[in-house]
Amino acid sequence: MDIAKINAAQDLESATCEIFAPDSGDYLFSFVMAGPTHPKTRQLTESEGRGLAHQSKRSGGMQKAIDSRLETLLTDSDAALEKQVKGLLARTLDWLDVTDGGNAKSFDAKQTEVWYREKSWLRDQVMTFLNEPKNFTKSSATTSSPTSSTN
């Protein structure tokens, strides 16, 4: 493989997450999700980092700030849900195949937020998708085994 091709290869900034009904397994619709390299994901990560740094200054150290946040997430289910919903919503760029009365419906962040809050099965599917790095890479067209080279 030419080094230039390797250097030019990049992760996908976004990918399509198909959503299925939890009871029947039928396809419902899809979300377009921001990947790890997407500016929205980077912004979210930087914002969380700044918040943690600010909290560490107030609490007397990074470890105390981390422990405090972890304690809140473990003991306050409302805070944990709020953090998860905001994170998912920040990485949701669009939806596909959503209709209202048979008419295509444009992406609606408020509706998406309601679904994320009310439907744990939806959050679970999207989190599973986001946590799989290969969802944001193009798979190889060939499945041949690597060849050894001699120098």
Who wins on pLDDT, 90 or 43?
90
Domain layout of the chain by residue ranges: 12-136
- For the residues 19-44, what does the mean pLDDT come to? 90
Please tell me the predicted confidence (pLDDT) of residue 13.
87
**Residue labelled with tokens 């600010």:** 54
pLDDT category of residue 141 using cuts at 50, 70 and 90: very low
Is 70 exceeded by the pLDDT of residue 71?
Answer: no
